[in-house]
């Protein structure tokens, strides 16, 4: 969850853009997102950086898109 009350659910290896220490956006696996990282979100019609205030691990059933070294087919 972010400070602006946004949340997202991803597999551990999905790439997500984060900003660390107010620097440029880098893409890291979701499992490496840390408290204090910022995610870009839309709030009141504007794109803002919102700090991550909570990280949870969940088990869900459904469809997923694995990232492989050979790509997808």
42 strand-pairing partners: 47
Residue 7 to residue 18: CA distance in whole angstroms: 14
pLDDT score, position 58: 87
pLDDT score, position 71: 66
Residue 61 to residue 67: CA distance in whole angstroms: 18
Tens digit of pLDDT at every position of the chain (73 positions): 999 999 998 888 889 999 998 778 999 999 999 999 999 999 999 999 999 999 998 888 887 766 677 766 5
Contact status, residue 27 vs residue 15, Cβ threshold 8 Å: yes
Tell me 33's DSSP state: -
Helical ranges in 15-71 per DSSP H: none
Helical ranges in the chain per DSSP H: none
């Amino acid at each position: 969850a972010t400070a602006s009350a946004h949340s997202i659910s991803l597999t551990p290896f999905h790439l997500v853009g984060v900003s660390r220490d107010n620097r440029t956006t880098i893409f890291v696996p979701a499992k490496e997102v840390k408290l204090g990282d910022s995610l870009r979100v839309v709030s009141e019609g504007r794109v803002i950086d919102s700090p991550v205030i909570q990280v949870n691990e969940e088990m869900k059933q459904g469809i997923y898109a694995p990232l492989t070294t050979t790509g997808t087919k």
